Amino acid sequence: MRSKGFYLLPGLFLLYSTALAQVAAPQPVEEVFSDWRVLCQPTDQGSACQMLQSAAAEEDGPPVFLLSVSATSEQSYAVMTVPVGVYLAPGIELHVDNRRPFKVLYEVCDQLGCHAGFRMNGDVLRAFRKGLQVKARVWTARDKAVDFPLSLRGFTAAYTHFRAAGDQ
């Protein structure tokens, strides 16, 4: 006759291996810098990080606009994601405070939204570091523009941390 412990052993081993797998799996680390989040996922080579800020179309609504900043070892780039259904021809205008706008063209649309990418360097990076707010202007029709604000509070601290964390 087998003891009850023998029947429990496979169950305990499964429980232990599941717990060990959960502990061993690297978890993403999120840090908040005022209105910006830096999300880093540990990798074999260090960590892959991304800066994020989202905005809702309506007060207290779900976030539907996203500005994310990623990097390669050489440079940073940003992607603005807006809902599907926007008028694509004019692209997006980014107005940092009252400076001349930067124009960004859409690259692709998918089920998550329409994405417009741009390099985060030079004049754009300087404006984001010095600015207080960026208004992204998108068109919902040929002659109907909608502005939505994104805060630049915490951008410089988040960007500095993001670049340093990505180099590790």
Domains and their CATH numbers in the chain: 26-166 (2.60.40.1880)
Residue 113 has pLDDT above 70, yes or no: yes
pLDDT in tens, 70-94: 998 788 999 999 999 999 999 999 9
Q: How far is CA 167 from CA 42, 89, 123, 125, 164, in A?
A: 12, 37, 23, 19, 5
Residue 13 has pLDDT above 60, yes or no: no
Rounded to whole angstroms, the Cα distance separating 92 from 134 reads: 12
pTM value surpassing 0.85: no
